[in-house]
């Protein structure tokens, strides 16, 4: 992608910082050659548009040179090499995080040095020196744990020195990083956590870490934990090929995590120098911290490190040529994405719903479960959950009372699906035609449709026309539940509640228990496919489920058109795939509309570079232009922030299912019912162009 004039297309505008782990080729004590390799990789990082490049521990000298670190020739050559790297960094984009021995007075420290655009920004010594098994670092180095408020001069470059230093780009809000070294993050209280609480959004770990069986998994565990616990990104760079193999071996593992998620991993045991590059979303990190009071309580308990940490400011060089996003953006953020954990994730989602419904059945002593079965996606999934719940409670499925209630717009296909579904599931099934009752109500309220067929009659298919049908169905269900000693299971899903795409009060917004209220539309589709793939119910029911999945999403409240075309939900309000994407990033992380638009544009503009979850239908592989994304994001903001909250404020009980959040006013989402969407719409209008051109 070429550079574009509009700031919307600039990664830095949206808070992205390009981070790389660098594995240079090193030789033990070959300080000149190692410096050349470091600078070569710095040039490669510059070409890749990297903002922050993290090298291994003691890469200037080589880690495994033992007592050679104490030789004056090595100490002096390392200092001169640092000077060369500082000078060689001038004009380069990346901030270089380099490992080297640094002498201060009569003490020698194992250090991480931050170098940017011809300037030594600061030096952080290693806090914890391993001195067990193969490690003898206390023999050569001084512990840096209590070094606070100090300075150091190296090759004529003076800089802050100590473990109380973080670094912040003045021209890129969110680009704030801290440094720790290898053993530091194996300690019970890693110093990096203090840097995170002081404001660092990215932690860098310069590591040597000789490889043994299982060590790579251990590193992943610690990096994932550190990035999750510190609510930050964590870049880890271990020594690779070229280090001394006198008694040890090295694999050059580089990993980058963000908020507990693996973003990128290098090729291990690569003989060549390597860059492992990804883009970190610092806006996501900052937003997540803003919403998490525990993080700030911990910082206060630690003595408010942001007050006493030294923040070294620098102006970041952003003259990179490569501005294409290097980051996987999941099109379906609510849907399990890892094939290795696919079964477990789907199993958990379904069982959360089942267990919650079982508890409600036990608590109420219900004699029956009442559902409206339309033959569509949501009611089908709710029925499947009810079936599993009854099976586990040892109750006959005949206790489930399903009612299909055809109206003006009901198609033969969905009515047939509903009847086949109830028969295959083995529940009590009945049909109630609501058309006569709807016609009577329309006549009673003086609706123009009531005169249809008479002189002056009109075919008016407005909201009132639709809501009369939705309201009648729910009214019947509530009366039937009372009549049969049961309760109504709500079928509406999370996506519909987000958009307010439901009839308020005595309508499909209301039930006695909303079993689908924590499950978005895209996840329901996926869970149903999982049930088919794992043969949860048998062949006959699976055939019906396939037909349900192949049916266009429609409320079926308006009669078919002249050529048989049915009312389409997505034609009216937009694709659920996009709306679920918007919901996740806005409700879960609080992102601005422009940030969400940028993420969606990156995720949906190319089939070749962005995958889709296993099992999704072929039409899920389509792309969306920036103009389409902008159009439907505006619809989402108007509906979500503008006029649908009053429905959520009165929504029934129902279980939270996804880490992406829920919209219950008793849970994840609290908002006034009379708020306006102006601020979101204005931000979208000001910052997102209508086209890619």
- What is the structure's pLDDT at 131? 86
Q: Is 129 annotated as a binding residue?
A: no
Tally of structural domains, the chain: 2
What residues are paired with 312 via a beta bridge?
A: 167
Q: Is 328 annotated as a binding residue?
A: no
Residue 608 clears pLDDT 50, i.e. is over it: no
Residue numbers of the domain that contains 218:
7-314
Residue 610 clears pLDDT 60, i.e. is over it: no
Q: Are 65 and 24 in contact (CB under 8 A)?
A: no
What residues are paired with 32 via a beta bridge?
A: none
Regarding whether 137 and 237 lie in a shared domain, the answer is: yes
- Residues 64-83: what's their mean pLDDT? 96
- Residues 253-263: what's their mean pLDDT? 95
Q: Is 209 annotated as a binding residue?
A: yes
Q: Is residue 235 part of a domain?
A: yes
User: Burial level of 683, CB count in 10 A (0-12/13-18/19+)?
Assistant: middle
Regarding whether 100 and 44 lie in a shared domain, the answer is: yes
Residue 103 clears pLDDT 80, i.e. is over it: yes
The residue from 59, 126, 147, 183 that is catalytic is 126
Q: Is 647 annotated as a binding residue?
A: yes
Q: Is residue 200 part of a domain?
A: yes
Query: Can 126 be counted among the known catalytic residues?
Result: yes
Regarding whether 310 and 383 lie in a shared domain, the answer is: no
Residues 147-204 have pLDDT tens digits of: 999 999 999 999 999 999 999 999 999 999 999 999 999 999 999 999 999 999 999 9
What residues are paired with 233 via a beta bridge?
A: 202, 258
Q: Is residue 539 part of a domain?
A: yes
Most confident of the ranges 30-44, 320-334, 411-425: 30-44
- Ranges of beta strands (E only) in 119-186 are 119-125, 150-154, 157-161, 165-169, 176-181
Q: Are strands 95-104 and 107-116 parallel, antiparallel or unpaired?
A: antiparallel
Q: Is residue 328 part of a domain?
A: no
Residues 31-48 have pLDDT tens digits of: 999 999 999 999 999 999
Closest-CA residue to 374 (of 519, 497, 477): 477
Regarding whether 379 and 240 lie in a shared domain, the answer is: no
Give CA–CA dist 379/366, Å, rounded. Answer: 20
Q: Is 501 annotated as a binding residue?
A: yes
Residue 552 clears pLDDT 90, i.e. is over it: no
Q: Is residue 528 part of a domain?
A: yes
Closest-CA residue to 52 (of 295, 243, 320): 320
Q: Is the pTM of this model over 0.95?
A: no
Q: Which residue has the tokens 């980051």?
A: 327
Helices within 198-281 (DSSP H only): 215-229
Query: Dihedral (C-alpha) 429, 433, 438, 443: value to the nearest 10 degrees?
Result: -150
Q: Which residue has the tokens 């979303």?
A: 281
Q: Is 628 annotated as a binding residue?
A: no
Residue 329 clears pLDDT 60, i.e. is over it: yes
The residue from 57, 258, 265, 556 that is catalytic is 57
Q: Is residue 572 part of a domain?
A: yes
Regarding whether 150 and 40 lie in a shared domain, the answer is: yes
Q: Is 205 annotated as a binding residue?
A: no
Q: Is residue 102 part of a domain?
A: yes
Q: Is 613 helix (H, G, I), strand (E, B) or coil?
A: coil
Regarding whether 371 and 228 lie in a shared domain, the answer is: no
- What is the structure's pLDDT at 585? 96
Q: Is 373 annotated as a binding residue?
A: yes
| pLDDT confidence band for 554 (50 / 70 / 90) | confident
Tally of residues, the chain: 693
- What is the structure's pLDDT at 248? 86
Q: Is 300 annotated as a binding residue?
A: no
Mean pLDDT estimate for the chain: 91
Query: Can 182 be counted among the known catalytic residues?
Result: yes
Give CA–CA dist 82/368, Å, rounded. Answer: 76
Give CA–CA dist 319/664, Å, rounded. Answer: 46
Closest-CA residue to 181 (of 209, 157, 147, 139): 209
Q: Is 355 annotated as a binding residue?
A: no
- What is the structure's pLDDT at 611? 46
Regarding whether 387 and 276 lie in a shared domain, the answer is: no
314, 348, 370: which is the final residue of a domain? Answer: 314
- What is the structure's pLDDT at 321? 44
CA distances from 171 to 207, 285, 496 (A): 29, 18, 40
Who contacts 381 (Cβ-Cβ below 8 Å, separation ≥6)?
491, 516, 519, 524, 527, 528
Regarding whether 222 and 79 lie in a shared domain, the answer is: yes
Give CA–CA dist 374/569, Å, rounded. Answer: 15
Give CA–CA dist 348/335, Å, rounded. Answer: 12
Q: Is 215 annotated as a binding residue?
A: yes
Q: Which residue has the tokens 């999945």?
A: 549
Q: Are 627 and 691 in contact (CB under 8 A)?
A: yes
Selected residue with higher pLDDT from 535 and 4:
535
Give CA–CA dist 517/664, Å, rounded. Answer: 8
Regarding whether 274 and 347 lie in a shared domain, the answer is: no
Selected residue with higher pLDDT from 257 and 244:
257
Q: Is residue 73 part of a domain?
A: yes
Regarding whether 239 and 352 lie in a shared domain, the answer is: no
Report the CATH number at residue 397.
Answer: 3.40.50.620
The residue from 22, 182, 276, 346 that is catalytic is 182
| Tokens standing for residue 687 | 């910052």
Residue 453 clears pLDDT 80, i.e. is over it: no
Residue 505 clears pLDDT 90, i.e. is over it: no
Regarding whether 281 and 230 lie in a shared domain, the answer is: yes
Residues 204-244 have pLDDT tens digits of: 999 998 888 998 899 999 999 999 999 999 999 999 988 88
Sign of torsion over alpha carbons 56, 237, 230, 278 = positive
Report the CATH number at residue 122.
Answer: 3.60.110.10
Q: Is 491 annotated as a binding residue?
A: yes
314, 347, 382: which is the final residue of a domain? Answer: 314
Given strand 513-514, what is the order of strands in its sheet?
428-431, 400-404, 368-372, 486-490, 513-514
Regarding whether 230 and 110 lie in a shared domain, the answer is: yes
Give CA–CA dist 518/510, Å, rounded. Answer: 15
- Residues 254-272: what's their mean pLDDT? 93
High-pLDDT (> 90) share of the chain, %: 76
Residue 2 clears pLDDT 70, i.e. is over it: no
| Tokens standing for residue 549 | 């999945």
Closest-CA residue to 317 (of 82, 50, 114): 50
260, 280, 314: which is the final residue of a domain? Answer: 314
């Amino acid at each position: 992608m070429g550079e574009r004039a509009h700031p919307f297309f600039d990664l830095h505008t949206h808070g992205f910082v390009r981070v790389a782990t660098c594995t240079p080729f090193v030789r033990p004590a070959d300080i000149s050659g190692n410096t050349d390799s470091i600078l070569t990789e710095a040039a490669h990082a510059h070409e890749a548009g990297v903002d922050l490049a993290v090298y291994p521990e003691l890469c200037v000298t080589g880690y495994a040179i033992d007592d050679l670190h104490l030789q004056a020739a090595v100490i002096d050559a390392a200092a001169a090499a640092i000077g060369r790297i500082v000078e060689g960094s001038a004009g380069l984009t990346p901030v270089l995080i380099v490992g080297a021995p640094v002498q201060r007075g009569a003490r020698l420290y194992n250090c991480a040095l931050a170098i940017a655009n011809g300037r030594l920004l600061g030096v952080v010594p290693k806090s914890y020196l391993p001195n067990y098994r193969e490690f003898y670092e206390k023999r050569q180095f001084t512990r840096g744990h209590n070094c606070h408020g100090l300075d150091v001069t190296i090759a004529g470059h003076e800089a802050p020195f100590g473990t109380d230093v973080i670094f912040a780009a003045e021209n890129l809000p969110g680009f704030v990083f801290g440094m720790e070294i290898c053993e530091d993050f194996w300690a019970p209280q890693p110093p990096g956590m203090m840097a995170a609480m002081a404001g660092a959004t990215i932690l860098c770990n310069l590591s040597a870490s000789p490889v043994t069986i299982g060590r790579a998994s251990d590193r992943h565990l610690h990096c994932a934990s550190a990035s999750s616990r510190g609510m930050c990104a964590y870049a880890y760079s271990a020594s690779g090929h070229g280090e001394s193999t006198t008694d040890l071996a090295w694999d050059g593992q580089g990993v980058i995590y963000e908020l507990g998620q693996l973003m990128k991993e290098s090729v291990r045991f690569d003989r060549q120098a390597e860059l492992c590059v990804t883009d970190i979303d610092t806006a996501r990190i900052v937003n997540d911290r803003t919403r998490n009071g525990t993080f700030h309580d911990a910082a206060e308990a630690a003595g408010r490190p942001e007050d006493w940490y030294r923040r070294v400011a620098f102006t970041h060089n952003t003259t990179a040529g490569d501005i294409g996003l290097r980051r996987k953006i999941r099109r379906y953020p609510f849907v399990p994405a890892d094939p290795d954990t696919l079964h477990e994730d789907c199993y958990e989602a379904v069982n959360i719903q089942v267990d919650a419904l079982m508890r409600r059945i036990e608590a109420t002593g219900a004699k029956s479960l009442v559902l409206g079965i339309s033959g569509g996606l949501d009611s089908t999934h709710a029925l499947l959950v009810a079936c599993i719940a009854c099976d586990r409670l040892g109750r006959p499925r005949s206790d489930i009372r399903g009612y299909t209630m055809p109206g003006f717009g009901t198609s033969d296909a969905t009515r047939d699906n509903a009847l086949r579904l109830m028969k295959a599931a083995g529940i009590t099934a009945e049909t109630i035609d609501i058309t006569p009752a709807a016609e009577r109500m329309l006549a009673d309220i003086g609706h123009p449709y009531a005169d249809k067929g008479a002189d002056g009659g009109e075919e008016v298919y407005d909201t009132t026309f639709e809501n009369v049908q939705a309201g009648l169905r729910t009214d019947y269900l509530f009366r039937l539940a009372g009549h049969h000693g049961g309760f109504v299971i709500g079928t509406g899903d999370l996506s519909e509640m987000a958009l307010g795409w439901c009839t308020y009060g005595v309508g499909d917004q209301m039930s006695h228990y909303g079993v689908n209220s924590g499950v978005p539309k895209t996840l329901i589709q996926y869970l149903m496919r999982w049930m088919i793939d794992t043969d949860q119910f048998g062949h006959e029911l699976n055939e019906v489920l396939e037909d349900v999945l192949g049916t266009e999403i429609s409320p079926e409240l308006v009669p078919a058109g002249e050529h048989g075309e049915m009312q389409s939900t997505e034609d009216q309000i937009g694709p659920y795939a996009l709306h679920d994407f918007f919901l996740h990033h806005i409700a879960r992380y609080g992102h601005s509309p422009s940030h969400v638009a940028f993420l969606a544009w990156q995720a949906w503009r190319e089939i070749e570079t962005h995958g889709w979850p296993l099992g999704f239908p072929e039409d899920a592989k389509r792309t969306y232009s920036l103009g389409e994304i902008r159009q439907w994001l505006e619809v989402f903001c108007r509906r979500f922030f503008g006029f649908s909250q009053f429905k959520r404020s009165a929504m029934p009980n129902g279980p939270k299912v996804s880490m992406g959040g829920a919209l219950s006013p008793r849970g994840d989402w609290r908002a006034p019912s009379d708020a306006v969407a102006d601020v979101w719409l204005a931000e979208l209008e000001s910052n997102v162009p209508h086209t890619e051109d």
